[in-house]
Amino acid sequence: MVENKNYYGVVPDISVETIIEAPLEEVWEFVEDIQSHVNWMDDAVSIDFVGARQQGVGTTFDCETQIGPFKLTDRIEITEWVERKTIGVSHKGLVSGSGRFTLLQLAPKRTTFTWEESLVFPFWMGGPLRNPIGKRILESVWKQNLKNLKDLIENSSSSSSAS
């Protein structure tokens, strides 16, 4: 569970996971490249870094996000960075909270990718009343994002091993 200090009520935790048929190091190469997240996250339209830093704790960026007709800019700061294991973030914007990507090697060419978030929706989006609906929508979008990442990495792996 991801701790969220920005909310005084119940926040639904969102957790999605996939198994990627690739070595952990290869999965990390895709995940650590924050700018490239727009290539596999359907809801991420663009990423603009605030400052020169693009990796590690303290990296801050604005992520333009769109789900259906809803579009917003999410200010994200990396709060945790453990090489080949974890990237944790805090969200500051209309939707606030925290999240974490975690990688776990299951076998030499098999890696689990887990994405956890605890988010707070603004009052005008229904606040706590709509969180269960928002949770279902985000779970669906993020499951598709992980499928996109899995396909991107596995197709990259198979084309690399074929050459």
- Is the separation of the CB atoms in 38 and 46 below 8 Å? yes
Domain membership flag for residue 146: yes
Residues above pLDDT 90, as percent of the chain: 66
Residue 66 lies in a domain: no
User: Of residues 163 and 88, which shows the higher confidence score?
Assistant: 88
Could you count the other beta carbons within 10 Å of the beta carbon of residue 160?
10
Residue 128 covered by a domain: yes
Rounded to an integer, what distance in angstroms lies between the CA atom of residue 89 and that of residue 48? 15
Q: Average pLDDT in the 35-48 region?
A: 97
Q: Is the pLDDT of residue 113 over 80?
A: yes
DSSP annotation of 55 reads S
CATH of the domain at 19: 3.30.530.20
Q: Which residue has the higher pLDDT, 116 or 5?
A: 116
Domain range for 141? 13-33+78-162
Q: Is residue 157 part of a domain?
A: yes
Q: Which of 20-24, 77-81, 121-125 has the lowest mean pLDDT?
A: 121-125
CA 67 to mean position of chain CA atoms: 14
128: confidence class by pLDDT, cuts 50, 70, 90: low
Average pLDDT over all residues of the chain: 87
Q: Is 2 part of any domain?
A: no
- For the cut 70, the answer to whether the pLDDT of residue 130 exceeds it is no
Give domain status of residue 47, yes or no: no
Binning pLDDT at 50, 70 and 90, where does residue 126 land?
A: low
Residue 3: inside a domain = no
- Is residue 132's pLDDT more than 80? no
139 SS3 class: helix
- Domains identified in the chain, total number: 1
Whether 56 maps to a domain, the answer reads no
**What is this structure's pTM?**
0.85
